[in-house]
Structure 1
């Protein structure tokens, strides 16, 4: 789902980025919500011959010299854009929040909920809601509140849309918990044109969850911890289990969930949860693990954290066959003061963060083999900052690229990038058009990740899209380490190898037309805005367009997910005649500015991961093969169009040491490709337990990176034998298939979160403390248990929210698992 909650008008200060799950794991920021605001108007002209006149300006960015390019916009083009700029004022709407959701793929349909909240008691929040609908990408909105009987819709999880951009929509009404009949939802099969009211036999405690493929299958947890299931898109419901803490869909119609056998709020903290699954919609259940703390599912792998013996550290067990068999992951154990976090994963490999002991705010990233069992050390001192914020980012515009930040000794935060799925990490190169600050000993580009916007520094996370090959847009600074001062915007067109300083100061940005068009809006806190910037050459030069004569306080920018659109919507508010804030939506349509369809002359063949001027046989080889893309030339001002698809050619490469990770017990020496044994493990045979039998592994330190397709070349010896000696394995004492109703448990209260966040994607597998209050988690990024295609972000943190920082440890860790 693509859903945004614009923050309260009284204190719009912090931003949030909303996006859909991509590659079944990560989040792509297609729609953004923000609360920074400012105004800056710059006018340009265009030469009579129609060529862009480019002007270089040099700024001072912090202490760095920053050179950028401006391009004028001709009066004719300005008038053309004004003719296709549409402003909608939601008169009489002084609601505290706006929730926006895109419905369908290429339909242009947007639903907006305007909510006025009136706190009444600790269990129910009253208020009113208006529902607006647009069928033209936000150019016009119509009040359709009567379609839902003018009901008050929940502000925090009131709107959900089906997976894969179908036209199924669910609105969850805010009904008092004292209502014995249960809650009410409104369902639509036609993108919100008509709604059907459904009386629920329970009160939902969180958003209705769609099946990741088939939207007619719905699951929800009630406020009394019941697990409810519908097989007909919410028309009828049945309770399949009681005392449920968390759940997630597995493969097919498999549903995993954890429950408490003792009905105590301490069950999760003490590791007394039971992990069960049903593969027939709750008719029968199988207990697949006991005495667990938490679990998650990603990329076909089922993880669970357990305490093998009373008082011992926690460990991770993993299953690749939907819970039939579990094997112990070869990872360091974690005490109750540490946690595990799955940063990313697919069917080939898992990125796992293991927290260091104590309040260090860093840990170690490990990468798995294709079974999710053997883990190799990938990156030390990985920043995992206040409120469990990780800066780990999957660059989706180019295969194998990941960005993150490390916390060096001395407290400096520095950015590193990997081009081979964590095999090696390097510092980012300084942009050519940015000078190093004076007295800078190490001059590199450093990118703001999730920890930074959490601290209120940049208004948006790094942005990349699969359809915009090689393109990355991010906030950052140049110098010894990341700067806490106002960041600038940097762009890379080659997947992070080289960067360009492109916009001064913080901005909200969006990728349109599959990368052929970038739009940005200045994002400051204290001023109104009336202009946007757009670029057709990957941010080398920018045009400025004044989209309104009446400036607004910026709340956010939104574009249709998937980058195919040519429309951008800017949301904000301005005081009306009665000094009451009024919501405003301005949609700018670039369809009539870039009218020429791109032809073959507008495209160029580009070898990804290639070093300029290199003629090496392995030039461009990453993960065992080369990829040559057909991509748009930077100076071609044309449109890719909705029919554009990424075109690429692949060719295999000979194997080298770069195609291998360091095996378990080895580490890669700094600035080399050599894998050296860790102290104490030299010449030792590694024994791991696989399905109850010991597996002896002998290696000289190298293991091929999962998903690597190299052929021939370097091949280190590695031998794996299964002995007849048995070993311990995770299995319930009585795993059996039981009929529905025979596994009744006492209802308990839990706070292990199921809600996901945007901006960095991580699952906390185990944590420090468990707090039992049913409230929204402070951080919310439980991606492994997040329904695909459904992300809802609330930006109402407010400036008064207390945040845990690197400088000041907080004794409270209730935020990690709730």
Structure 2
């Protein structure tokens, strides 16, 4: 069922009106009476349950009285049950992704509360919580500070609970921030100097930790998890002074640009069923521009880009990539037009969706990018007041013809020449897709399924990275031994054990699926000495740390001690890791 809720504030009557729609916002029903005309929190008042659970929670505004009320629905907002909270919430109520009856929220006093019956009853499970996240298998991760303050960066503790907060286990200290991705838990940990921090990674939900082979960062830098699945992590490490003098590049704006209050209305957008298609804001030059960015589109997964729209826009992907829509971001001027493209952003058309322009505030489409409907939100002004407006545009008549077999073409990801049998291999396999031709103006439909054909590749040197003590020769895939380590035995800490490494200079990239082909020899000999970094105590010897660092070209690691984890409230400055 596709239902949406919209809360409107009318200045002249000083009241909220709650609307409900079942047709993508084309028509709305006033359901304010279902919540006794209660004011709803503006910032986090509507919490929608995961998947298609039908659960909705509305949080009342504190100005209504001394008690915060919530309105609970399990039928997509057709009816509500009222409950009173024994606290005042500071954030939106979050659902357990595996069980929408289990809820978490922390209060204005930073106490963490949990409900196991969809908000009917609550119990306090922890005090002074700075950040909380749901992990795998109903695990709760949180950061806290024994001194009662969430503002002391790098002094937090990371804790987890496996029994819905009845017991907690501390799994890290000296935490700056933490994040979850795939099967990994990431912790940004302060070093001994207190001026730098380093990433630690756990693959067993925080029981044991390993130092990531990444550079340390200082106060004006940050880490950011770009993507993660079960095997592979893509992480950005900020470098100071990243300008290029005379080198011109396309700089993509993401969450960091938004946190720095640049004129970037939305983050980069891609959809699993719109293969290879990415929309993003970017600026061209030697460094990131603080001026208004333009919209760029990539149709090959980010290898190449072209400028699609001038200036910042809100955008959405519809019909599994068969249709793109965009609305100009200009808060100071009313708008009446929506732009759309049927050829992946190469050509754009304009549709006047209203004769009475409105001040545009947001664009919404059904999750999954399969719909042909998009809703525009905004307000209009009169002499006496402002009033909110929702306009839904249905593009179904635009793409009236159903796509046929000849509307699709084969596309090989990561490839510049589809006829080359060795081209397109990435992490040991390649995927061939059927995707819509750019010149096919047709409807993919809701039942469209991406057709892909994966093929395992034979191993080559590109499936291996340089091992400890080796580095890539300039402009070459060949790994050569570092001169200062020639003749020395390579001993290092790996998976909590001290190991001696016998290697020809290569190790297979984690998550690589290649088979056969080139397989360089590599052997790890267990020296039966424990050296795990568990973020709770120091057991790494200085010489092991330095060997580990030198072998991987990491500077500034002399200050490292063992390490420990955490995160506080989000801050809009460059000193905050974006470990989400």
Residue by residue over 1:684-731, the C-alpha shift from the partner in whole angstroms, topping out at 9 and shown as x without a partner, is 554443565312334444332322211122222322222122336426
Q: Distance in 2 between matches of 1:492 and 1:315?
A: 33
Q: Distance in 2 between matches of 1:462 and 1:703?
A: 33
Q: What CA distance in whole angstroms lies between the structure 1 residues aligned with 2:94 and 2:344?
A: 37
SS of 1:252's equivalent in the other structure is: helix
Q: How does 1:165-184 map to 2 (within 5 A)?
A: 165-175=52-62, 179=66, 182-184=67-69
Which residue of the partner structure matches residue 6 of structure 2?
A: 112
Contact kept, 8 Å, 1:512 with 1:563, in 2: the verdict is yes
- 1:250 paired to 2:151: no
Which consecutive residues of structure 2, in runs of 5 or more, have no partner in the other structure?
Answer: 538-563
Q: In structure 2, what is the equivalent of residue 408 of structure 1?
A: 243
Runs of 4 or more, structure 1, over 6 Å off, are 764-767, 779-783
> Could you tell me how far 1:130 is from its partner in structure 2?
2.2
Deviations for 1:540-577, whole angstroms, at most 9, x for unmatched residues? 3333222211222222222112110001122222223x
Aligned to 1:778: 572
Could you say what secondary structure the match of 1:601 adopts? helix
> How far did residue 467 of structure 1 move?
0.8
CA 1:239–1:351: 2 relative to 1, 3 Å: same
Structure 2 equivalent of residue 143 of structure 1: 30
Question: In the alignment, is the contact (CA less than 8 A) between 1:339 and 1:766 conserved in 2?
Answer: no
Residue 188 (structure 1) aligned with residue 23 (structure 2):
no
Is the Cα–Cα contact under 8 Å of residues 288 and 323 in structure 1 kept in the other structure?
A: yes
Match of 2:170 among 260, 283, 287: 287
Q: How does 1:650-729 map to 2 (within 5 A)?
A: 650-664=454-468, 666-668=470-472, 671-676=475-480, 680-681=484-485, 684-690=488-494, 692-727=496-531, 729=533
CA–CA separation in structure 2 for the residues paired with 1:270 and 1:721: 36
Distance 1:678 1:111 in 2: 61
What is the match of residue 517 of structure 1? 323
- Contact 1:302–1:323 (CA<8 Å) still a contact in 2? yes
SS in 1 for 2:62: coil
1:694 and 1:145 mapped to 2: Cα distance? 65
Secondary structure at the residue paired with 1:555?
strand
Structure 1 residues 630-681: Cα deviation after superposition (integer angstroms, max 9, x where no partner): 1112222211110111111111111122222344555545644334556755
Q: Structure 1 residues 153 and 295 mapped into 2: Cα distance closer, same or farther (>3 Å)?
A: same
Partner residue in 2 for 1:610: 415
Secondary structure of the residue that 2:433 maps to in structure 1? Answer: strand
Please, what TM-score do these two structures have when normalized by structure 1? 0.61
Q: Secondary structure at the match of 2:320?
A: helix
Q: 1:208 aligns with which of 93, 100, 103?
A: 93
C-alpha separation in 2, matches of 1:243 and 1:478 = 44
1:304 to partner: Cα distance = 3.3
**Which secondary structure does the structure 1 equivalent of 2:100 belong to?**
coil
Contact 2:493 2:531 in 1 (8 A): yes
Distance between the aligned counterparts of 1:653 and 1:148, measured in 2? 59
Aligned to 2:397: 592
Q: CA separation of 1:315/1:574 partners in 2, compared to 1, >3 Å: closer, same or farther? A: closer
Task: Select 2:50's aligned residue among 163, 169, 172.
Answer: 163
2:340 is the counterpart of 1:539: no
Instruction: Give SS of 1:469's match.
Output: coil
1:340–1:765 CA contact under 8 A, matched in 2: no
- Which shows bigger deviation, 719-728 or 479-488? 479-488
Distance 1:485 1:183, change over 3 A: closer
* 2:157–2:566 Cα contact (<8 Å) kept: no
Q: Determine the C-alpha separation between the residues in 2 that align with 1:228 and 1:321.
A: 26
**SS of equivalent to 1:295:** strand
Normalised by the length of structure 2, the TM-score is: 0.84
SS of corresponding position for 1:528: coil
Q: Is the 8 A contact 2:154 2:566 kept in 1?
A: no
Structure 1: distance between partners of 2:513 and 2:535: 35
Pair 1:642-2:446 in alignment: yes
- The residue aligned with 2:542 is none
Deviation, structure 1 residue 139: 0.6
Find the aligned partners of 1:266 and 1:455 in 2 and give their Cα distance: 23
* SS of equivalent residue, structure 1 residue 284: coil
Contact 2:535/2:565 (CA < 8 Å) preserved in 1? no
Relative distance call for 1:291 and 1:216 in structure 2 (3 A) is same
Offset at residue 183 of structure 1 (A): 2.6
Note if 1:550 corresponds to 2:371: no
CA contact (8 A) 2:222 2:577 kept: no
User: Does the Cα contact within 8 Å between 1:296 and 1:765 map onto a contact in 2?
Assistant: no
Shift of 1:227: 2.1
- Give 3-state SS (helix, strand or coil) of 2:34's partner: helix
* Contact in 1 for aligned 2:337/2:352 (Cα 8 Å): yes
- C-alpha contact 2:430 2:457 (8 A) present in aligned 1: yes
Tell me if the contact between 1:227 and 1:239 (Cα under 8 Å) persists in the aligned partners: yes
- Any residues of structure 2 matched to 1:294-693 within 5 Å, and which? 294-306=177-189, 314-333=197-216, 339-354=222-237, 360=240, 407-410=242-245, 445-450=250-255, 452=257, 454=260, 456-476=262-282, 487-524=293-330, 526-576=332-382, 578-612=383-417, 615-664=419-468, 666-668=470-472, 671-676=475-480, 680-681=484-485, 684-690=488-494, 692-693=496-497
The residue matched to 2:108 in structure 1 has which SS? coil
Higher-RCO chain (CA-CA 8 Å, sequence separation at least 6)? 1
Partner deviation per Cα, 1:447-485 (whole Å, 9 max, x = no partner)? 444555545445444322111111122344556666565
Post-superposition offset of 1:310: 8.2
Superposed, which structure 2 residues align to 1:61-80 within 5 Å?
A: none
Residues 211 and 218, structure 1, Cα contact 8 Å, conserved in 2: yes
**Structure 1 residue 305, shift from structure 2 partner:** 4.4
C-alpha change, 1:476 and 1:334, in structure 2 (3 Å) is closer
Is the CA contact 2:251–2:282 (under 8 Å) kept in the aligned structure 1? yes
C-alpha change, 1:695 and 1:608, in structure 2 (3 Å) is: same
- 1:201–1:621 CA distance, 2 compared to 1 (3 A): same
Go from structure 1 to structure 2 and tell me whether the alpha carbon gap of 1:135 and 1:686 turns closer, same or farther (over 3 Å shift). Answer: farther
Return closer, same or farther for 1:711/1:162 CA change in 2, 3 Å cut-off.
same
Runs of at least 5 residues in structure 1 that lack an aligned partner in the other structure: 1-106, 119-126, 363-406, 413-441, 734-763, 786-818
Matches of 2:191 and 2:307, distance apart in 1? 52
Change (3 A) 1:706 1:553: same
SS of residue paired to 1:510: strand
Greater CA drift, 133-142 or 236-245: 236-245
In structure 1, what is the equivalent of residue 82 of structure 2? 197
1:177 CA displacement: 11
1:111 and 1:524 map into 2 onto residues whose CA distance is 25
